Amino acid sequence: MSNPECFASIGPIAIHLPQRVETNDDLRQQHPEWNIDQIEEKTGIKQRHIAAENETASDLAVQAVEKLFAQANIDRKEIDFLLFCTQTPDYPLPTTSCLMQDRLGLSTRCGALDFNLGCSGYVYGLSLAEGLIRSGVAKKILLVTAETYSKYIDADDRSLRTIFGDAAAATLVTASPERTLWGFQFGTDGSGADTLLVGDGGARCATDAIRPRHRKRWKSRLYMDGASLINFTVEAIPRLIDEILEAQSMTHDQIDRFVMHQATRKMLEQMSERMGLAPGRIPIDMEDVGNTVSCTLPILIDRMRRRGELSSASVNMLVGFGVGLSWAGCLWRDVAV
Q: Cβ(140)–Cβ(174) under 8 Å?
A: yes
- What residue spans define the domains of the chain? 7-177, 182-332
- Whether 16 shows a pLDDT value over 90: the answer reads yes
CB 263 within 8 A of CB 119: yes
Preceding omega of 325 cis (within 30 degrees of 0) = yes
pLDDT of res. 204: 77
Q: Check if 7-177 and 182-332 are the same fold.
A: yes
Identify the residue with better confidence: 217 or 259: 259
Q: By CB neighbour count within 10 A (0-12 exposed, 13-18 middle, 19+ buried), where does 312 fall?
A: exposed
Out of 291, 295, 316, 330, the active site residue is: 291
Q: Is 85 a catalytic residue?
A: no
Q: What is the pTM of this model?
A: 0.95
Name the CATH superfamily for 7-177: Thiolase/Chalcone synthase (3.40.47.10)
285, pLDDT greater than 60: yes
Q: What is the rounded CA–CA span in Å between residue 100 and residue 14?
A: 16
Q: How many CB atoms lie within 10 A of CB 12?
A: 18
Say what the pLDDT of residue 208 is.
Answer: 67
Mean pLDDT of 10-24: 97
Residue among 53, 49, 56 nearest 22 (CA): 49
The C-alpha atoms of residue 257 and residue 334 are separated, in whole angstroms, by 12
Residues 6 or more apart in contact with residue 121 via CB below 8 angstroms = 85, 115, 145, 293, 294, 320
**What are the residues facing 125 on neighbouring strands?**
none
Q: For 260-282, give one letter per residue: b (16+ CB within 10 A) or e.
A: bbbbbbebbeebbeebeeeeeeb
* Percent residues over pLDDT 70 in the chain: 94
CA 306, CA 106: separation in Å to the nearest integer?
28
Q: What is the pLDDT of residue 207?
A: 59
- pLDDT value for 56: 97
Q: Where do runs of H (alpha helix) occur along the chain?
A: 24-30, 36-43, 57-72, 96-104, 121-134, 158-161, 226-247, 265-275, 296-306
Does 146 score more than 70 pLDDT?
yes
What pLDDT was estimated at residue 199?
Answer: 81
pLDDT at residue 211 greater than cutoff 70 = no
pLDDT of residue 337: 67
DSSP one-letter string for 68-113: HHHHHT--GGG--EEEEE-SS-S-SSS-HHHHHHHHHT--TTSEEE
Is 261 among the catalytic positions?
Answer: yes
Mean pLDDT (whole number) for 319-334: 96
- Confidence category of residue 226, pLDDT binned at 50, 70, 90: confident
Of all residues in the chain, the percent with pLDDT exceeding 90 is 83
- For the domain covering 182-332, report its CATH number: 3.40.47.10
pLDDT at residue 214 greater than cutoff 80 = no
The per-residue pLDDT for range 66-116, each reduced to its tens digit, is 999 999 999 999 999 999 999 999 999 999 999 999 999 999 999 999 999
- Residue 250 pLDDT > 70: yes
What confidence category does residue 184 fall into, taking pLDDT thresholds of 50, 70 and 90?
very high
Q: What's the half-sphere exposure (Cβ side, CA atoms, 13 Å) at 91?
A: 8
**110, 261, 316, 330: which one is catalytic?**
261
Q: What type of residue is 21?
A: V
Nearest Cα to 260, choosing from 322, 215, 210? 322
Q: How confident is the model at residue 212 (pLDDT cuts 50, 70, 90)?
A: low
The angle formed by the CA atoms of residues 99, 105 and 107, to the nearest 5 degrees, is 95
- Does 231 participate in catalysis according to the annotation? no
**Catalytic residue (one of 6, 119, 295, 330):** 119
pLDDT per residue as tens digits for the range 270-284: 999 999 998 889 999
Confidence category of residue 200, pLDDT binned at 50, 70, 90: confident
